Amino acid sequence: MTLNKQDWQWVLTCFGTAVGAGILFLPIRAGLSGIWPMLILTALIFPVTYIAHRGITRIVASASRPTDIVGAVEMDLGRNVGFAVSLLYFLSIITICVGYATGITNIVSSFLGNQLGVSEVSRPLLTFLLLAGLTAVILAGEKVMVTVTSWMTFPLIILLGGLSLYMVPQWNTAQLATPFDGGEVLKNLLLLFPVLVFAMNFSPVCSTLGAAYRSQYAASEAVARTDGIIKWTSLILLVFVMFFVFSMTLATSPEVLQQAQANNVDILTTLSLVMQQPLLKYLIPLIAFLAIASSFFGHFVGTREGLVGVISRLLHWNHPEAAVAQGLRKLNRLVTIGMLFGLWLLAVYNPPILKIIGALSAPIIAIYAYLLPVMLMKRVPRLLVYRSSLASFVFVMGLVGIAGDFIGSYL
């Protein structure tokens, strides 16, 4: 099916959702893992990403009436299962917000200390000012947030792509001759795959995508169009993300990557400290800030919606219609303030971001995006027609995403 203008706008929306902290920390894990795991996962990640995200949109787009993923599951399997999915959706995004809050603080802190020479910046104060500023944009309303995000996303895509090309002449191709060691490759595959799952993830927007198309089209047309959007998003992400990863990895050394991991900063912030060109020393941290800030907005709103939904369902479990009648504006504000202070406390603590991604975010994303659709398409009669011949493969890769960091860390 040929995509129209609206379809391509959704492709960009899905793409923008995926491009954030994951793409900035993936080169660190990939470079420390070696060239062979990178090559193997480059060959595998497109079908896995495509089928997993397509599964989420098909569940929603094929529903009997327009609704989100929780509503679709509730119609098929009841409120208890629907509540479990809403809780899973919330957990799949909240851990990402923790990584983003920590990452953006570290980016600005490094920039102030290394590029501007501002020493002894109070981390609690800096973190609060940054998170308060980003939250203020969200509280200003959806129009303001969408406008600010669009201003960030398009320059970000151009800058990241341009930087990937700029680094090509500095590639050290000697890494391509690394001998194949089965044990090391397996260990590093397990450590790398969860981070790659995180970097290629746009599942937070898939429910909204499916619901939007189901409200416009019949179920069959909605499924066909969202399938096309997911396919092109996954393909563009494959090319964009993996080219960036290979370019950053081949242009740096293992010592630089180990330093980035030890300092709990992304690849661009680390790169800005070793670049000799004055313009790039200031431009690269800006790219890193745009990447995380632009994605932070969508994930913060998604986390808030998920938490509001969980709280509202618990408060009105026996009378669900009361939640709709009551309105959620006050609850939204209270949850926003609570999230602001919760993220502030965690970001001040400065937890290791790669560990958050590999051990917390990726496993929950894998359950929600890889395992859940496969299980629903085996159990729900209306979804049987959408089962994929690669469903078992996606399910197994989901299990790798859940346990990979834990197993790989102890091999």
* Band of pLDDT at residue 325, cut at 50, 70 and 90: very low
CA-CA-CA-CA torsion for 358, 309, 14, 188, nearest 10 degrees? 10
Task: Compute the average pLDDT of residues 69-74.
Answer: 86
Distance CA 363, CA 90 (A): 13
- Checking if the pLDDT of 194 tops 60, the result is yes
Q: What string of DSSP letters covers 243-303?
A: HHHHHHHHHS-HHHHHHHHHHT--HHHHHHHH---HHHHHHHHHHHHHHHHHHHHHHHHHH
Among residues of the chain, what percentage have pLDDT more than 70?
97
Confidence of residue 16 (pLDDT cuts 50, 70, 90): confident
Measured between alpha carbons, how far is 222 from 12 in angstroms, rounded to an integer? Answer: 18
At residue 300, the pLDDT reads 87
Query: Is residue 216 over pLDDT 80?
Result: yes
More confident residue, 343 or 271: 343
In the predicted model, is pLDDT for residue 191 greater than 70? yes
What is the share, in percent, of the chain residues with pLDDT greater than 90? 46
Render pLDDT for 124-156 as a digit per residue (tens, 0 to 9): 999 999 999 999 988 887 678 777 877 787 788
Token pair in block for residue 389: 């011949």
Does 210 score more than 50 pLDDT?
yes
Among 44-48, 73-77, 116-120, 275-279, which stretch is predicted with the lowest mean pLDDT? 275-279
Enter the pTM of the model: 0.88
The DSSP letter of residue 170 is G
CATH hierarchy code of domain 5-410: 1.20.1740.10
- pLDDT tens string 78-107: 888 888 888 888 888 888 899 999 999 999
166-180, 221-235, 276-290: which has the highest mean pLDDT? 221-235
Q: What is the pLDDT of residues 359-401, one digit of tens each?
A: 999 999 999 999 999 999 998 999 999 988 889 999 999 999 9
Per-residue pLDDT reduced to its tens digit, 257-296:
888 898 898 998 888 887 777 778 888 888 889 888 888 8
Q: What single string gives the DSSP state of each residue in 92-149?
A: HHHHHHHHHHHHHHHHHHHIIIIIS------HHHHHHHHHHHHHHHHHT-HHHHHHHH
DSSP letter at 401 equals H
pLDDT at 53: 95
Q: Parse the chain into domains and list their residue ranges.
A: 5-410
